Amino acid sequence: GAVVSQHPSWVICKSGTSVKIECRSLDFQATTMFWYRQFPKQSLMLMATSNEGSKATYEQGVEKDKFLINHASLTLSTLTVTSAHPEDSSFYICSASPGQGGNQPQHFGDGTRLSIL
């Protein structure tokens, strides 16, 4: 149980393109999902908290207009990297939890490797 699916797993595109990444909770509902960015050989950096039916909460230093988050339903959140540039190349991971409390572990998607040429 508690499976999170992330798609696509790998994207290569030209600079200036917008890229959409989907995160789905397959067997549970998630009012909150999280988006992380991971640089090579580094830990996960929380980008934003995605809230179903409301605006996402962005961490300090993360550009809201650059990284658009939409949490359209209790099982789907999307991250759109707008007008992507090479410096946006990274590994993006989403997570969600079946429960609301901090004692519920996050379940992670398999990540999306984004490469901007």
Among 15, 20, 43, 80, binds other proteins (CB under 8 A): 43
The answer to whether residue 91 forms part of the interface with other proteins (CB under 8 A) is yes
Task: Collapse the DSSP code of 59 into the 3-class scheme (helix H, G, I; strand E, B; otherwise coil) and give the result.
Answer: coil
In the complex, the smallest distance separating the C-beta of residue 102 from other proteins, rounded to whole angstroms, is 4
Contact 12, 117 (CB under 8 A): yes
Q: List Cα–Cα distances, 110 to 52, 54, 71, 91, 115, in angstroms.
A: 21, 25, 19, 10, 16
The answer to whether residue 17 forms part of the interface with other proteins (CB under 8 A) is no
Among 73, 83, 100, 115, binds other proteins (CB under 8 A): 100
Label residue 9 exposed, middle or buried (CB < 10 Å: 0-12, 13-18, 19+): exposed
With CA atoms as reference, report the closest residue to 89 among 39, 48, 54, 55: 39
Stretch that binds other proteins, among 12-20, 68-76, 79-87, 94-102 (CB under 8 A): 94-102
The answer to whether residue 66 forms part of the interface with other proteins (CB under 8 A) is no
Task: Collapse the DSSP code of 87 into the 3-class scheme (helix H, G, I; strand E, B; otherwise coil) and give the result.
Answer: helix
The answer to whether residue 29 forms part of the interface with other proteins (CB under 8 A) is no
Residues forming contacts to other proteins in the complex (CB under 8 A) are 4, 6, 9, 32, 34, 42-44, 46, 49, 91, 93, 95, 97, 100-111, 113
